[in-house]
Amino acid sequence: MNPVTSPESGGQAVTRKPSKLAKTWKEYKKCRYLFLLLTPVLIWYAIFAYAPLYGIQLAFKDFRIMEGIWNSPWVGFKHFEFLFFHSPDFFKILRNTVVISFYHIIFGFPAPIILALLINEIRFSKFKKITQSLTYLPHFFSWVILSGILLTLLSPSTGVVNYLIELVGLKPIYFLGDPNYFRFTLVTSAIWKEIGWGTIIYLAALSGISPDLYEAAVMDGANRWKQTLKITLPSILPVVVLMFILRTGGILDAGFDQILNLYSPATYEVADILDTYVYRVGLQNFQFSLTTAVGLFKNLIAFTLVLMTNYVAKKLGQEGLF
Amino acid sequence: MKPTRGNQIFQAVLIVFMILLCIVMLYPFVHMLSISLSTPAESLRTGIHLYPREVSFYAWERVLSRSDIWIGFGNSVFRTVVGTICSIVFMSMGAYPLSRKYLPHRSFFTMLIVFTMFFSGGLIPTYFLIKNLGLIDTRLVYIIPGLISTFSMLILRNFFQAIPEEVEDSAKIDGANDLQILFRIIMPLSLPVLATLSLWSAVGHWNAWFDAVLYIQDPAKQVLTTFLRRVVITGEDVSIFSSDSQSAVLGYAEPIKAATLMFTALPIIVVYPFLQKYFVKGTMVGSLKG
Instruction: Walk me through the domains of chain B, giving residue ranges and CATH numbers.
Output: 1-56 (no CATH), 64-290 (1.10.3720.10)
Residue type present at position B195: A
Judged by CB atoms closer than 8 Å, whether chains meet at B124 and A283 is answered as: yes
A298 in Cβ contact with B122 (< 8 Å):
yes
Q: Provide the residue-wise pLDDT of chain B in tens; the chain has 290 residues.
A: 556 777 888 889 999 999 999 999 999 999 999 999 999 888 888 888 999 999 999 989 988 988 889 999 999 999 999 999 999 999 999 999 999 988 999 999 999 999 998 888 889 999 999 999 999 999 999 999 999 999 899 989 988 988 888 888 888 888 888 889 999 999 998 888 898 899 989 999 999 999 999 999 998 999 999 999 888 876 565 555 655 555 556 678 889 899 999 999 999 999 888 887 777 665 554 433 33
Q: How far is A1 from chain B (nearest CA, A)?
A: 6
Contacts 24+ apart (CB under 8 A), A8-12: A8/B172
What is the structure's pLDDT at B281? 63
B39 in Cβ contact with B56 (< 8 Å):
yes
Judged by CB atoms closer than 8 Å, whether chains meet at A35 and B107 is answered as: no
Beta-carbon contacts below 8 Å between A and B: 258
A200 in Cβ contact with A194 (< 8 Å):
no
d(CA A127, CA A129): 5
d(CA A248, CA A305): 6
Q: Decide if pLDDT at A13 tops 50.
A: no
What is the structure's pLDDT at A1? 40
Task: Tell me if ipTM is over 0.90.
Answer: no
B159 in Cβ contact with B224 (< 8 Å):
no
What is the structure's pLDDT at A11? 45
Q: Decide if pLDDT at A8 tops 70.
A: no
Domains along the sequence of chain A with CATH: 17-71 (no CATH), 80-315 (1.10.3720.10)
Residue type present at position B223: V
d(CA A60, CA A72): 10
Judged by CB atoms closer than 8 Å, whether chains meet at A151 and B147 is answered as: no
DSSP reduced 3-state for B38: strand
At a CB cut-off of 8 Å and minimum separation 6, what does B273 contact? A133
φ, ψ (nearest 5 deg) of residue B216:
-115, 125
Q: Residue A213 — very low, low, confident or very high, per pLDDT cuts 50/70/90?
A: confident
DSSP reduced 3-state for A286: coil
pTM of the predicted model as reported, rounded to 2 decimal places: 0.87
Give the residue from A6, A27, A41, A191 with the most B CB atoms within 10 Å of its CB, the best one to mutate. Answer: A41
Q: Quick one: average pLDDT of A201-225?
A: 85
Which of residues 80 through 99 in chain A touch B, CB cutoff 8 A?
Answer: none
Q: Quick one: average pLDDT of A20-36?
A: 88
Judged by CB atoms closer than 8 Å, whether chains meet at B90 and A41 is answered as: yes
- Left if phi > 0, otherwise alpha if psi is -120 to 50, otherwise beta: which for B47? left
CB-based contact, A245 to chain B, within 8 Å? no
Which of residues 263 through 282 in chain A touch B, CB cutoff 8 A?
Answer: 275, 278-279, 282
CB-based contact, A192 to chain B, within 8 Å? yes
Q: How far is A22 from chain B (nearest CA, A)?
A: 13
Number of neighbouring beta carbons within 10 Å of residue A39: 13
d(CA B78, CA B84): 10
d(CA A210, CA B224): 47
A291 in Cβ contact with A54 (< 8 Å):
no
d(CA A198, CA A208): 17
Judged by CB atoms closer than 8 Å, whether chains meet at B96 and A54 is answered as: no
Q: How far is B44 from chain A (nearest CA, A)?
A: 7
Q: Is B219 exposed, middle or buried (0-12, 13-18, 19+ CB in 10 A)?
A: exposed
Say what angle helices A143-153 and B253-280 make with each other, to 10 degrees.
130
What is the structure's pLDDT at B97? 95
DSSP one-letter code for B244: S
Q: In this complex, which of B25, B257, B264 lies closest to A134 when CB atoms are compared?
A: B25
Q: Decide if pLDDT at A131 tops 50.
A: yes
Cβ contacts of B25 on chain A, cutoff 8 Å: 134-135, 137-138, 192, 196
